[in-house]
Amino acid sequence: MPRPKPPPLTEAQLLDLAVWMCDRHPGRRFPGRDAWRAEGLGAAWRQMAGQRDTWATRVGRLPAQAGRLPGTPAANRRWDDASISRELRAALTRLGSWPGSRREWEEQGMGPLVWAMSRHGGLKHWRRHSEANGWVGPRPSA
């Protein structure tokens, strides 16, 4: 006779496990499937299906898979000035300011947007565009 399935974990239990896993697996990224399985928590990993990026964000980590954060642009899209402008406005609204370096953009999951901006006028052009539209304040004077 097969063992009965345990009941699903509550949201609080999943959050506790996510924090515990991040403590056991330091780094910038949320622990991946193999780490959860190695700890005997494969069922919890499966229960988070479709929401793992959200769980990673809740505990202050980047998603386990390299790629984008929830609400950030996908890499495999066709970019034009209108889509860059739309994504840039959303990003600056979420971030609150213009990131200081390309690396900061990428750490926020915005690498595809930076790539697109660099090929459609450059970052300086898009910074000026953002300032002109009031999405971000002007650079402080040195």
10-residue mean pLDDT series, the chain (142 residues): 83 89 84 89 86 80 58 63 88 85 79 85 92 79 50
Cα 35 from Cα 131, distance rounded (Å): 44
Q: Is the pTM of this model over 0.85?
A: no
Task: Give the residues across from 62 on adjacent strands.
Answer: 29
Sign of the Cα torsion 37, 40, 42, 47 reads negative
44: DSSP letter: H
Domain boundaries, the chain: 11-58, 81-132
What amino acid is encoded at 117 in this protein? M
Nearest to 56, CA basis, from 111, 112, 109: 109
Looking at residue 126, what is its pLDDT? 93
Cα 137 from Cα 54, distance rounded (Å): 29
